[in-house]
Amino acid sequence: MRKRKKRKFKTFLILIFLLGLAFIFYYIDKNDNDYTDKEINKKLKELGYKEDSINKIKELNLIDKINVYSNNLEEALNKNIFNENCIESYINLNKDFNTIYKLCNLNYNDSEIKEITNNLDSDTINKINTYLDKLSLYSTHNNFILDNYDRYNNYEETDIKKKISYVNVNLDYEFYENIKDSINTNNNLVLVNKYYKLSEDYINIMDNISIECAVRYDIKLETKAKEAFEKLCLDAKELGYKIVGVSGYRSYNTQKIIYNNYLKSDSIKNVDTYSARAGHSEHQTGYAIDVSNNNLPYNKFGSTTEYQWAKDNIHKYGFIIRYTTDNQYITGYKNEPWHFRYVGIEAATYIYNNSITLEEYLLNNKEKI
């Protein structure tokens, strides 16, 4: 009997002990929670968050992600427009709230928003109105143009840099399709090619090239181009080279006659590789000149010592050799060592140093268009 009582008492003691232990643990735990909560409030308050925001931060379990004050986060919390995919952007990205809000609502995630806002200007971002899955990838290339997005996607080229560049210079279109008006008209960066045309009545201010540098008196160039060409011609002369103008400015109608004449004895496909259709000739700009060494016909200029000098020197005068075998896939023209185009010294030097075309120089550079 006594033994039984003793055992009961023992069990009772153990129970009390366990209860006590549970109570202690519960208490410690509760205290601990209280402590953390207080710390969190303190930390967020110190960072500058308002009471309402602090409650929402706790509700949404964002505490671990926050180490700084973010106006954007507070604004997002207050407007109750929280999207989990772009939490980081609201917290850490130091960009305009509306921009993040917009991209977030279009379903771009944090890393996409980071790329897009870092790489695209606000005008471009303003134009985005739907989710484009390759936008953040394309945007890392600084020649990306939003309007060309679908064309990039449709153009088969695995190298993204090339894809963007080639579409920008219209290689996804056939020559003489999707023709637009020339850009930069009336300045030396005017673009005239198989995709960009001049109007029938387009004309610039022209001057006759001095007879020392031309085969006839009536060869005209735009005034600045004329001065640059004469300087080139005279400097070349000092070095013992003869470079003279054979054909400069040509009107729309003259070009029409020339092109149609070729058509009488050759196919369109062939003619298009060496003669421009009316409105598509650089000669109409007054910035292009065909040259010879005054000895051989102009189309033999490529075999002269003059050409050997010219190809590495005319950029110093603002000219480029516009059509080469290497760039035929862009320009559509066969090698024309005799066709010099005035673009100004800065552009000519850049184009020469980088072995690119005027098309690439202009259309891969938003500031130049």
Residues designated catalytic: 336
E strands, 176-239, where?
Answer: 180-181, 196-197, 206-208, 220-222
Token look-up 């300045």 returns 187
C-alpha to C-alpha distance for 62 and 73, rounded to whole angstroms: 11
The three-class DSSP label of residue 289 is strand
Q: How far is the CB of 285 from Zn ion (least distance, A)?
A: 11
Give the sign of the dihedral formed by CA 317, CA 323, CA 329, CA 333. positive
DSSP annotation string for 25-61? HHHHHHHHHHHHHHHHHHHHHHHT--HHHHHHHHHTT
Q: How far is the CB of 317 from Zn ion (least distance, A)?
A: 17
Q: What x/- string results for residues 305 through 344 when contact with Zn ion is judged by CB under 5 A?
A: ----------------------------------x-----
Give the sign of the dihedral formed by CA 39, CA 40, CA 43, CA 49. negative
For residue 156, give both structure tokens.
Answer: 């088969």
- Identity of the residue, 197 or 339, whose beta carbon is nearer to Zn ion in the bound complex: 339
For residue 86, give both structure tokens.
Answer: 């772009």
Q: How far is the CB of 217 from Zn ion (least distance, A)?
A: 19
Q: How far is the CB of 290 from Zn ion (least distance, A)?
A: 4
- Identity of the residue, 101 or 202, whose beta carbon is nearer to Zn ion in the bound complex: 202
Q: Does 163 bind Zn ion (CB under 5 A)?
A: no
Q: Taking contact as CB under 5 A, which single stretch among the options 91-99, 217-225, 283-291, 324-332 is the one that binds Zn ion?
A: 283-291
C-alpha to C-alpha distance for 59 and 148, rounded to whole angstroms: 43
Q: Who contacts 48 (Cβ-Cβ below 8 Å, separation ≥6)?
A: 69
Query: What one-character DSSP code corresponds to residue 8?
Result: H
Residue type, 324: T
- Identity of the residue, 89 or 182, whose beta carbon is nearer to Zn ion in the bound complex: 182
- Identity of the residue, 175 or 298, whose beta carbon is nearer to Zn ion in the bound complex: 298
Q: How far is the CB of 338 from Zn ion (least distance, A)?
A: 7
- Identity of the residue, 166 or 323, whose beta carbon is nearer to Zn ion in the bound complex: 323
Q: Which single residue brings its beta carbon nearest to Zn ion?
A: 339
- Identity of the residue, 74 or 290, whose beta carbon is nearer to Zn ion in the bound complex: 290
C-alpha to C-alpha distance for 68 and 78, rounded to whole angstroms: 17
Name which of residues 199 to 228 contact Zn ion (CB under 5 A): none
Q: How far is the CB of 336 from Zn ion (least distance, A)?
A: 6
Q: Does 290 bind Zn ion (CB under 5 A)?
A: yes
Number of residues lying near Zn ion (CB under 5 A): 2
Enumerate binding residues for Zn ion (CB under 5 A): 290, 339
